[in-house]
């Protein structure tokens, strides 16, 4: 089959695009506002961008029921930092709860029974229960035009300036996915958990200095 997203002519019962871009890692992003109120929300339009410096991106798109931008985006623009918490299978329900839109001033940490972990290099706290946390300094936000007027696509870039890895997910000095069990977003209502891993020598590593 072939379709053009602009024409929505896929003829399927559900739009298949997000199912085609899968698995998507979940950036579970914690932020803080200028009044010290924390915020936490998952974003599956999230990924790493490069190593030098280590850089990540995520996309807080859309607006809430009041027409306001995502609290995550508002906080990042105020305080200029955030923490990426890795979402695991054990934390799946808590992660999902934190996608609820709360009024300004309310924190999803309390809603989901999560503990704030103080960060070392940034103001935003992390999720203490998450075994891997990336403290990030805001670099830039890019606003792309969207097909819905007033609803830009927002891409937030951040430099990873601090990395927490719990000993509980390490084996012989390597992150052990069998212990970490990270989850990813698929299409529809589906998610994935990493429970099978295979090894392969990457061709690029053979030629890079």
Ligand X SMILES: Cc1cc2nc3c(=O)[nH]c(=O)nc-3n(C[C@H](O)[C@H](O)[C@H](O)COP(=O)(O)O)c2cc1C
Q: Where does this chain touch ligand X (CB under 6 A) — which range of 9-17, 67-75, 162-170, 194-202? A: 67-75
Q: What is the C-alpha to C-alpha distance for residues 132 and 167, in angstroms, rounded to an integer?
A: 10
3-state helix, strand and coil shares in percent for the chain, rounded to the nearest 5: 20, 35, 45
Residues in the chain: 209
Work out which of 16, 23, 48, 62 binds ligand X, going by CB under 6 A: 62
- Residue from 32, 41, 114, 134 in contact with ligand X (CB under 6 A): 41
From residue 181, give the alpha-carbon distance in Å to each of 39, 87, 96, 122, 195.
Answer: 24, 9, 16, 26, 7
Q: Rank residues 60 and 126 by Cβ distance to ligand X and give the closer one.
A: 60
Which residues lie closer than 8 Å to 62 by C-beta, 6 or more apart?
70, 151
Residue 26 binds to ligand X (criterion: CB under 6 A): yes
The stretch among 7-15, 56-64, 119-127, 136-144 that binds ligand X (CB under 6 A) is 56-64
44, 88, 119, 130: residue in contact with ligand X (rule CB under 6 A): 44
Q: Does 61 bind ligand X (CB under 6 A)?
A: yes
Asked if 134 is part of the footprint of ligand X (rule: CB under 6 A), the reply reads no
Does residue 85 belong to the site contacting ligand X (CB under 6 A)? no
DSSP string for 35-60: TS-EEEEEESSEEEEEETTEEEEE--
Contact positions toward ligand X, by CB under 6 A? Answer: 26, 39, 41-45, 59-62, 64, 70-72, 96, 99, 101, 185
């Amino acid at each position: 089959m072939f379709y053009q997203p602009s024409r929505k002519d896929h003829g399927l019962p559900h739009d298949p695009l997000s199912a085609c871009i899968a698995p998507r890692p979940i950036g579970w992003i914690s932020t803080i506002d200028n009044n010290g109120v924390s915020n936490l929300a998952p974003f599956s339009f999230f990924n790493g961008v490069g190593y030098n410096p280590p850089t990540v991106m995520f996309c807080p798109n859309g607006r809430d029921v009041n027409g306001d931008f995502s609290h995550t985006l508002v906080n990042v623009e105020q305080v200029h930092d955030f923490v990426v918490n890795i979402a695991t299978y054990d934390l799946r329900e808590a992660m999902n709860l934190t996608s609820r839109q709360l009024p300004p001033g309310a924190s999803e940490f309390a809603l989901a029974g999560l503990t704030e972990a103080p960060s070392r290099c940034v103001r935003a706290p992390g999720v203490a229960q998450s075994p891997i946390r990336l403290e990030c300094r805001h670099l830039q936000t890019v606003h792309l035009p969207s097909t819905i007027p007033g609803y830009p696509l927002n891409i937030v870039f951040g430099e990873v300036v601090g990395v927490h890895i719990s000993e509980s997910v390490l084996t012989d000095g390597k992150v052990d996915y069998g212990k970490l069990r990270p989850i990813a977003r698929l299409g529809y209502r589906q998610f994935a958990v990493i429970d099978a891993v295979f090894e392969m020598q990457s061709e690029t590593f053979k030629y890079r200095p």
